[in-house]
Homo-oligomer: A and B are copies of this chain.
């Protein structure tokens, strides 16, 4: 098993990139950073479950951290495209961007699957 890379690497990275879809495109760290914090995850879950726009104050009731922390997290989530903010008077409503979010998640899943289609002819038994 010497020269492992020669024996086990039939494709160059460039060839692999051509064979697969643009996985990189959907592996956006800034998007997933939004989900990587437990507090943010609970905020997202809170708003998602409500199924409508929620004010900062309402969301703050759902978790134990400071009001200002919630405000900052929601602003971050809006910047990263997970939430959408609409202002009515002095109240800001944040709602989940369901369609865009689901599309991003499914696009990544599709791109990954394209790299290794478990039922595909080219891959079957060879890699996964």
Binding site for B on A (CB under 8 A): 1, 4-5, 8-9, 11, 13, 16-17, 19-20, 23-24, 27-29, 32-38, 40-42, 44-46, 48-53, 55, 58, 62, 88-89, 91, 95-96, 98-99, 101-102, 105-106, 108-109, 112-113, 115-116, 118, 123, 126-128
Question: How many copies of this chain sit in the oligomeric assembly?
Answer: 2
| A interface: dominant SS | helix
* In contact, A27 and B20 (Cβ under 8 angstroms): no
- Once bound together, how far apart are the Cα atoms of A115 and B95, in whole Å? 12
- Once bound together, how far apart are the Cα atoms of A1 and B55, in whole Å? 13
What residues of B have a CB within 8 angstroms of the CB of A13 in the complex? 46, 49-50, 62
